[in-house]
A and B are shown apart, each in its own frame.
Chain A
Amino acid sequence: MLSFHSSNIISKTKTISRRMFLLSTIKAVVLVGIFGRLAALQINDSTKYRSLSDKNRFRETKIAPPRGIIEDYFGNEIASNNKIYQLHIVPDNTPDVDALFVRLKTIINLSNKKLFLLKKQISRKKSWDTTVISDNLTWSEFSRINLFLHELQGAQPIVSVARYYHDNTSAHAIGYVSEISPRDLRTKKYLQNLNIEGVAIGKTGLESTLDEEMLGSPGYLRYEVNAYGKKVKQVATEAGLKGKTFRTTLDRSVQKVSAEALQNVSGAVCVMDIYNGDIISMVSSPNFNPNSFVHGVDKKEWKTLTENINKPMLNKAVSGLYPPGSTIKILTALSALENDIINPKVLIQCKGYIDLHGERFHCWKKKGHGVLNMKGAIKRSCDVYFYEVARRLGIDRLAETAKKFGLGQKVLTNYKEEKSGTVPNTKWKLSQIGKNWYIGETLHSGIGQGYFLSTPIQLCLMTAQIANGGFKIKPRMLDDNNNKVNNLQEYLDYKKENPNDTGGEKARLDFNLEPLFRNQENINFVKDAMFAASNEPGGTSYVSRHNDKKFKFAGKTGSSQIKRFTSEQREAETKQNEITYLERDHAWFVAFAPVEDPKYAISVLVEHGGSGSSAAAPVAKKIIKKVIERHETRTTQANQQIGQDT
């Protein structure tokens, strides 16, 4: 029994031990497997999993950077950033969103429609996401919210920054900012990183062209989230980089005067420094309030703006196209003199009309101007004289001069909305209209009608380039660190010491200037004629002259016809204010001042103003006074800047 028992135990033990050995082997294999897997995950692939873990952990929100400021020449802010008061809510933090809204309605202005939209917006988002209830609260609303904050669980009053425009006068020159549209996101690559709630982008004007540089780079708010996406703690904040600040060449006080001068009319004003091309003023009327767009313009306001026949949204200074009218006579005369077509002493009789090639061409003065020389014709703006000049000159030579002085091309680089206008010639007509040029069209072109189209800024440039003695300048809107634009001032100083030097060659070679003339005497002749037009009795703008020597200017009026007069109207001597507004002539006035030592050029356009002398010249008179009054301050500022730079 005992032996059986022990043999039984021995055989059992044997089997058990043998099998256990086998199990231990399997166990060893499994252990190696687990070790291998651990090593693979934690050593080989640890970088991969570490980044996956961080992706789990961290979320980033971008913070809108403050937008760059736009200043005028004197450092006054035109477009700045203002503190704004907002209200955000996080549904997770409030026990009852609906009750919160009911309470909020008693505190701030919240329409039922807006409430409906907000609720829809909240239902689309995660419950821990922030929803903006109001992005621009008044101070009283904001303070009331803070007062009742203990009852408004989940509501967060936020102080943020948004664009603020100090006045409406520069609305067109500066442009406006507004919310990013889906189309902006598609077309503007630089926005990819900036699609943040609260970022507004430039839509027109400088705001649009300088958008990328003014936006700055966004800040980051890095926080840890748990598996449900809820914020656990803030890990890091990186403040955004403020956008670049730009100093324009504009003068806010002149802008104000320009806007006031155009207050009740539709039109535009450009004022330019004739030596360095600085745009002192650029105003379009009527204007709009750019602040309305910052938080999204409301439908009603947008509708009134777009339906206004005077097109408040259009920057007429650069995008308004008008026939230059009689202002072109300066160029017609200059072109004829430069091309030796006509002697300025040649006398032509004006009977009020001229019959050429079987067609009758009328002068604006029905009774005619009598016998005139060229200076007299410019002074009194005789059409008949210039019909004859144009006839002898031909359209192609006139077009060449017009283009040389800046017509038919964009003047500034800062406006996407700028138009280049039209300077017609025979080739242009053939390619654009597909017809041959008629001689009659030359005559119309000679007095700035017909196919000619120009913008106020172009005519301002034209005037400036005549006023400075006929040298090409590059107009600019931005003062890029007082970089020297040209040597025009140095050349003028040199000329004062060497009054006998008349050659444009010297200016071109030694001073690196680009003379636009063949003989500077011709430029001087035109300037002289413009002086006469403004300061001699019988001149078209004599009524609007300044008697103070300091403010005296020389200018040329113009009216561009919208609709030709019928013979009946002509017979009846219909006055402009007797016909319908939209059919009235556009009124032009271009001038430079002061006459003794010209410094600034101005162009004024008054849409449907009737005649240049009655509608445009008085506007220019007011602005010129202000511009010249500001001259000293401006020079001091410029010298200071140069002093700072060196």
Chain B
Amino acid sequence: MIYTRSSIYSPFSIRDKFFHLDYTLLFSILLLGIISIFAQFSSSGGEFDYFSKSHALRFCVFFIFFLAISFVNIRIWNDYSLLIFIFLIFLLIIVKFFGVQSQGSRRWINLFIFNLQPSELMKIGIILFLSNYYHKISSSDVNKFRYLIYPVIALLAPFMLVLTQPDLGTAILILVSGIVITWLGGVRWKIFAYLSGLLIILAPVGISFLKPYQKNRILTFLDPDADPLGAGYQIIQSKIAIGSGGLFGKGFLNGSQAYLNFLPEKHTDFIFTLYSEEFGFLGSAFMVFLYFLITSRIILIGNITRSIFAKLYCYGFATAFFIYVAVNMSMVLGLLPIVGAPLPILSYGGSSMLAMMFGLGIVMSCNVYKNNALG
């Protein structure tokens, strides 16, 4: 088939699209998904219960969804990014008023089939929107005040909406991934320096707005042994689980810490701990490598795409994806406070998985339509 570089909607056949998929990335995701099904199975005590079943089902559904997104022309995503962003902001506002409340926070919309967590989708939405924004504006305008207002609003609006749910972890992740795009987009160091300065000044004020349990988490992180049965319990038990895994691990379904309920949140935030306890250092190292491979592949795709939008999106998503992984792992390894950040794909959670597969799908779309400059 012959197509020109300027052709906007390349008349790709399905076969061609399959040919242009990045199979290293695809199989890495597939492998991660399979591992995640096993991990959830183990987390349920070696049974196909509600958690493990729905996780497996979701992965299958969302993997197909991922392939579908891959085949959608990159232009569509570029064109509709603002709309998606506004739609997500709208959903966050709906959550504010009609959201489902659970354990003191309002994060979900009841869609009857499942509860949707728009803040998870916003992780992708903010990247899409800002990539599109910096794709559109001229490089000379980037640091002009007028052009800085939109990104600041686009960053602060979802941040504040998510923070007040309250969900500090997700809010920070949204903010950070947004900031990464603005920085990649060319905003000067100086501006970041000013903002950091302002943040440091405002930090004490911000801390006074934190909920007591959030303050506690930070204090606990600083000294987890101070109250081993209270707030420090999660960090200590997680470290015990990982450490006791040793080099080779305790074996599949033999993670005593998880099995005997010493591990909190073992389906979600602490799934890596469970995996690490059962498969040891070798298994954990392989897992870290797999995530490294995925982010590297995404950056590579970013390198070879022609459009600024695709580049920014890939780099931004790769960085965000890496941050999610790093934050979650550092958290369970006791390097960061417990903020409630799931591990992409491995953790149980429909919205999180949906967001990740959606994000990865767009990356794949960038690869399939890598020659589209979106001029």
Chain B binds chain A: yes
The residues of A with any CB-CB pair to B shorter than 8 Å are: 5, 8-9, 11-13, 15-17, 19-20, 23-24, 27, 30-31, 33-35, 37-39, 41-43, 45-46, 48-50, 52-54, 56-57, 224-228, 232
A56 to B311, CA, bound (A): 49
Is B288 a contact partner of A34 (Cβ separation < 8 A)? Answer: yes
Is A53 a contact partner of B256 (Cβ separation < 8 A)? Answer: yes
Interface residues of B in 76-96 (CB under 8 A from A): none
A593 to B135, CA, bound (A): 124
> Using Cβ atoms and an 8 Å threshold, which residues of chain B touch A49?
239-244
Q: Tell which of A16, A34, A42, A56 touches B308, judged by Cβ atoms closer than 8 Å.
A: A16
Q: Tell which of A24, A42, A52 touches B281, judged by Cβ atoms closer than 8 Å.
A: A42
Interface: B224 (CB within 8 A) = no
Q: C-beta contact mask, B309-321 vs A, less than 8 Å → 1, else 0?
A: 0011001000100
Interface: B33 (CB within 8 A) = no
> Using Cβ atoms and an 8 Å threshold, which residues of chain A touch B302?
20
> Using Cβ atoms and an 8 Å threshold, which residues of chain A touch B315?
16, 20, 23
25 A-B residue pairs with CB within 8 Å:
A8-B138, A16-B311, A16-B312, A16-B315, A19-B186, A20-B315, A23-B184, A34-B288, A35-B285, A35-B288, A37-B335, A38-B276, A38-B333, A41-B243, A43-B281, A46-B243, A46-B246, A49-B240, A49-B242, A50-B244, A53-B241, A53-B256, A56-B237, A224-B260, A227-B260
Known: A50-B243, A56-B262, A227-B260. 8 other contacts (CB 8 A): A27-B322, A31-B288, A34-B329, A41-B333, A42-B281, A43-B246, A49-B241, A53-B257
Is A48 a contact partner of B243 (Cβ separation < 8 A)? Answer: yes
A11 to B184, CA, bound (A): 12
> Using Cβ atoms and an 8 Å threshold, which residues of chain A touch B246?
42-43, 46, 50
Chain B residue with the shortest CB-CB distance to A48: B243
Most chain A CB neighbours (cut-off 10 Å) among B183, B237, B239, B260: B260
Given contacts A13-B311, A49-B244, contact A23 B139 (CB under 8 A): no
A49 to B256, CA, bound (A): 12
Q: C-beta contact mask, B256-296 vs A, less than 8 Å → 1, else 0?
A: 11001110000000000000100011001100100010010
A27 to B303, CA, bound (A): 17
A599 to B242, CA, bound (A): 77
Is A57 a contact partner of B260 (Cβ separation < 8 A)? Answer: yes
Chain B residue with the shortest CB-CB distance to A10: B139
Q: Tell which of B186, B237, B276, B326 touches A42, judged by Cβ atoms closer than 8 Å.
A: B276
> Using Cβ atoms and an 8 Å threshold, which residues of chain A touch B260?
56-57, 224-227, 232
> Using Cβ atoms and an 8 Å threshold, which residues of chain B touch A17?
303
Rounded to whole Å, the gap between the CB of B284 and the closest CB of chain A is 5
A20 to B305, CA, bound (A): 14
> Using Cβ atoms and an 8 Å threshold, which residues of chain B touch A30?
322, 326
> Using Cβ atoms and an 8 Å threshold, which residues of chain B touch A19?
183-184, 186
Is A9 a contact partner of B308 (Cβ separation < 8 A)? Answer: yes
Given contacts A49-B243, A56-B257, A224-B260, contact A42 B280 (CB under 8 A): yes
Is A39 a contact partner of B333 (Cβ separation < 8 A)? Answer: no
Is B256 a contact partner of A34 (Cβ separation < 8 A)? Answer: no
Chain A residue with the shortest CB-CB distance to B257: A53
> Using Cβ atoms and an 8 Å threshold, which residues of chain A touch B186?
12, 15-16, 19
Rounded to whole Å, the gap between the CB of A198 and the closest CB of chain B is 28
Interface: B30 (CB within 8 A) = no
> Using Cβ atoms and an 8 Å threshold, which residues of chain A touch B256?
53, 56-57, 224
Is B183 a contact partner of A42 (Cβ separation < 8 A)? Answer: no
Most chain B CB neighbours (cut-off 10 Å) among A5, A38, A227: A38
The residues of B with any CB-CB pair to A shorter than 8 Å are: 134, 138-140, 180, 183-186, 237, 239-247, 256-257, 260-262, 276, 280-281, 284-285, 288, 292, 295, 299, 302-303, 308, 311-312, 315, 319, 322, 326, 329-330, 333-335, 373, 375
A49 to B245, CA, bound (A): 8
> Using Cβ atoms and an 8 Å threshold, which residues of chain B touch A57?
256, 260
> Using Cβ atoms and an 8 Å threshold, which residues of chain B touch A9?
308, 373
A224 to B256, CA, bound (A): 9
Chain B residue with the shortest CB-CB distance to A225: B260
Nearest 9 pairs of A and B residues by beta carbon: A49-B243, A53-B244, A42-B281, A46-B246, A227-B261, A226-B260, A41-B243, A49-B244, A50-B244
> Using Cβ atoms and an 8 Å threshold, which residues of chain B touch A16?
184-186, 308, 311-312, 315
A226 to B261, CA, bound (A): 6
Rounded to whole Å, the gap between the CB of A3 and the closest CB of chain B is 13
A30 to B325, CA, bound (A): 11
A33 to B333, CA, bound (A): 11
> Using Cβ atoms and an 8 Å threshold, which residues of chain B touch A11?
139
> Using Cβ atoms and an 8 Å threshold, which residues of chain A touch B183?
19
Rounded to whole Å, the gap between the CB of B38 and the closest CB of chain A is 19
Q: Tell which of A38, A45, A226 touches B285, judged by Cβ atoms closer than 8 Å.
A: A38
A224 to B312, CA, bound (A): 52
Given contacts A53-B240, A53-B256, contact A227 B284 (CB under 8 A): no
Chain B residue with the shortest CB-CB distance to A41: B243
Chain A residue with the shortest CB-CB distance to B189: A19
A52 to B375, CA, bound (A): 61
> Using Cβ atoms and an 8 Å threshold, which residues of chain B touch A12?
134, 139, 185-186, 308
Rounded to whole Å, the gap between the CB of B70 and the closest CB of chain A is 22
Is B288 a contact partner of A52 (Cβ separation < 8 A)? Answer: no
Is B292 a contact partner of A56 (Cβ separation < 8 A)? Answer: no
> Using Cβ atoms and an 8 Å threshold, which residues of chain A touch B284?
38, 42
> Using Cβ atoms and an 8 Å threshold, which residues of chain A touch B308?
9, 12-13, 16
Chain B residue with the shortest CB-CB distance to A27: B322
A46 to B285, CA, bound (A): 15
Rounded to whole Å, the gap between the CB of B338 and the closest CB of chain A is 16
Given contacts A37-B333, A49-B244, contact A27 B311 (CB under 8 A): no
Is A45 a contact partner of B329 (Cβ separation < 8 A)? Answer: no
Rounded to whole Å, the gap between the CB of A18 and the closest CB of chain B is 10
Rounded to whole Å, the gap between the CB of B285 and the closest CB of chain A is 7
Given contacts A38-B242, A41-B239, contact A33 B335 (CB under 8 A): yes
A35 to B325, CA, bound (A): 13
Rounded to whole Å, the gap between the CB of A57 and the closest CB of chain B is 5
Chain A residue with the shortest CB-CB distance to B134: A12
> Using Cβ atoms and an 8 Å threshold, which residues of chain A touch B281?
38-39, 42-43
Is B184 a contact partner of A20 (Cβ separation < 8 A)? Answer: yes
Chain A residue with the shortest CB-CB distance to B291: A31
> Using Cβ atoms and an 8 Å threshold, which residues of chain B touch A24?
299
A227 to B333, CA, bound (A): 20
A11 to B143, CA, bound (A): 14
Q: Tell which of A38, A56, A232 touches B240, judged by Cβ atoms closer than 8 Å.
A: A56
> Using Cβ atoms and an 8 Å threshold, which residues of chain A touch B262?
56, 226-227
> Using Cβ atoms and an 8 Å threshold, which residues of chain B touch A53?
240-241, 243-244, 256-257
Rounded to whole Å, the gap between the CB of A514 and the closest CB of chain B is 67
Chain B residue with the shortest CB-CB distance to A44: B243
> Using Cβ atoms and an 8 Å threshold, which residues of chain A touch B276?
38, 42
A27 to B321, CA, bound (A): 11
A43 to B285, CA, bound (A): 12
Chain A residue with the shortest CB-CB distance to B183: A19
Chain A residue with the shortest CB-CB distance to B283: A42
Is B288 a contact partner of A42 (Cβ separation < 8 A)? Answer: no
